[in-house]
């Protein structure tokens, strides 16, 4: 089950924080994605690659200068770049199903919800890989 290998000690970000705040949280915690919350409700997810690709809109339909771009980037909030209504998975779903969802949708992680739709964790491709390696070690230790 997903609950057996997900990360439950979550770092989250508010949709109203700046993308710089999200970047700092990722860097500090050595993670690549953050569930985005509004209070306790999951409203999105933001990844490291989302941050790298973030661009402010042009100013008055003209190309922004370097300084204007920096100023706009410093003020841009997570809500602007996050994936809204992300794919989710439940604690009781199988790890295989989580892997299929990630592969089919070319994503590296899924927010995990409990039966009350409360955010309880995050499962990533690394979590699944660790689970696979653990199972392989257990199977081969018996030989």
Residue-wise pLDDT for 5-46, tens only, equals 999 999 999 999 999 999 999 999 999 999 999 988 999 999
Structural element, H or E, at residue 10: none
pTM across the whole model: 0.82
pLDDT band per the 50, 70, 90 thresholds, residue 124: very high
Residue 70 has pLDDT above 70, yes or no: no
Angle between helices 125-141 and 95-105 (to 10 degrees): 140
Q: Name the residue with tokens 């973030």.
A: 54
Q: Which of 4, 11, 9, 10 is nearest to 130 (CA)?
A: 4
Give the model confidence (pLDDT) of 99-117 as tens digits: 999 999 999 999 999 999 9
**Distance of alpha carbon 100 from alpha carbon 106, whole angstroms:** 10
Residue 47 has pLDDT above 90, yes or no: yes
Q: Once rounded to an integer, what is the mean pLDDT over residues 54-81?
A: 69
Percent over 90 (pLDDT), the chain: 70
Note the CATH architecture for domain 2-141. Roll (3.10)
């Amino acid at each position: 089950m997903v609950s057996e290998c997900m990360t439950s000690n979550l770092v989250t970000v508010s949709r109203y924080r700046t993308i710089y705040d999200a970047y700092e949280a990722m860097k500090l915690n050595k993670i690549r994605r953050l569930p985005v919350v509004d209070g306790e409700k999951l409203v999105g997810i933001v990844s490291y690659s989302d941050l790298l690709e973030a661009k402010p809109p042009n100013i008055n339909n003209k190309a922004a200068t370097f300084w204007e771009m920096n100023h706009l980037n410093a003020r841009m909030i997570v809500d602007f770049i996050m994936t809204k209504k992300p794919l989710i998975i439940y604690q009781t779903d199988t790890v295989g199903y989580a892997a299929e969802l990630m592969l089919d949708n070319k994503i590296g992680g899924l927010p995990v919800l409990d039966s009350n739709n409360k955010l309880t964790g995050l499962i990533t491709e690394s979590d699944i890989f660790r689970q696979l390696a653990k199972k392989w070690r257990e199977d081969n230790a018996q030989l």
